[in-house]
Amino acid sequence: MKKTIFKGIATALITPINESGVEYDKLARLIDWQIDEGIDALVICGTTGESSTLTDKEHREVIEFAVKQANGRVPIIAGTGSNETAYAIELTKHACEVGADAALVVTPYYNKATQNGLVKTFSTIADCSDLPIILYNVPSRTGVNIEPATYAKLADHENIVGIKEANGNISKIVETMALVGDKLDLYSGNDDQIVPIMSMGGVGCISVLSNILPRQTREICTKFFEGDIKESARLQCKYHDLISALFCEVNPIPVKAAMAAMGFCENYLRLPLTAMEDANYNRLINEMRKQGIDV
């Protein structure tokens, strides 16, 4: 088995921004708070970090800043995927140079590559990396699914070590684990499937929920790993309505609103993302209050 990057919960961290750009003082506070709350790793410049609307300069600077701010306290996993393979390679090399611990590489979006194309693309990026790579499968956003047989072809690459699986199809995940469960670490990419995916051998989750409840989200995994499956499942169910509210509009719109309500950032997003609709916002705030969050 290849080296596990982290076990438990990695927060897919928001990026605090305003009209002038990235707010690094607030990003530093967020990173420190997450680490103090016991999070296992941080994903920087992923979907939740609004990587698709950051400039290239911002993207690189945010990764480097997070590495320096974390200062080895937790692994920093840099989002370096792109629909342009050459650019994904550039970002991955940059993450290597600035000291990130791993790269999260999303399926090329919009292009809708064939499975053959996915194998060649991920392999090419991995060939150029000094970092271990987690493949990120999110077909609802990219338009293409990484099939189990494709994972099997990629699993033998020494730099490809894990999967962030957000296809929502448990049957496909079972098939994948039957093929590569001894070669690739599996992480849930959906907060509502942490326990189901761990029951199939998963080692944790790359989470949106943990932006607002890092310690509590981690407890879902901790209880599972301790063998208290019943309590882990209870916690999964406890946060179900809050998770649902966090995804009632496209991520990261709701979580950005939630973090703003908690005082961690401005509720500012770049187009094409816009602020939450009032009814959805009220639902989210109500669910946060039910969980004892001071907003």
10-residue averages of pLDDT along the chain (295 residues):
91 97 98 98 97 96 98 98 96 98 96 96 97 96 95 97 95 96 96 97 97 98 98 98 98 98 97 96 98 93
State the pLDDT at residue 285. 98
Residue 165 pairs with which residues in a beta bridge? 137, 188
Q: Which of 136, 187, 239, 281 is catalytic?
A: 136
248-275 burial, b at 16+ Cβ within 10 Å, e below that, comes to bbebbbbbbbbbbbeebbeeebeeebee
What angle, 0 to 180 degrees and rounded to 10, lies between the N-to-C axes of helices 253-261 and 278-290?
60
216: Cβ contacts below 8 Å, ≥ 6 apart: 235, 239, 291
Cβ count near 87 (within 10 Å):
14
238 HSE (CA, 13 A, CB side): 14
**Domains (range + CATH), the chain:** 8-226 (3.20.20.70)
What percentage of the chain carries pLDDT values higher than 90?
98
The pLDDT, as a whole number, for residue 1 is 61
Amino acid, single-letter form, for residue 265? C
The predicted model scores a pTM of: 0.96
**What are the pLDDT digits (tens) for 149-202?**
999 999 999 999 999 999 989 999 999 999 999 999 999 999 999 999 999 999
List, in sequence order, the alpha helices (H) in 84-169: 85-98, 115-127, 139-142, 148-154
Distance CA 117, CA 80 (A): 18
How many CB atoms are closer than 10 A to CB 71? 11
pLDDT of residue 83: 93
Instruction: Please state whether the peptide bond connecting residue 254 to the residue before it is cis, i.e. omega within 30 degrees of 0.
Output: no
Q: Is there a catalytic annotation at residue 164?
A: yes
pLDDT tens for each residue of 48-58: 999 999 999 99
The token pair that represents 49 in the structure block: 């970090």
CA distance 276 to 60: 28
* Residue 136 is among the residues annotated as catalytic for this protein: yes
Q: Phi and psi (nearest 5°) for 267? A: -85, 70
Q: For position 73, what pLDDT does the model report? A: 98
**Distance between CA atoms of 63 and 47, rounded to whole angstroms?**
14
At residue 258, the pLDDT reads 98
**Active-site residue identified among 26, 151, 153, 164:** 164
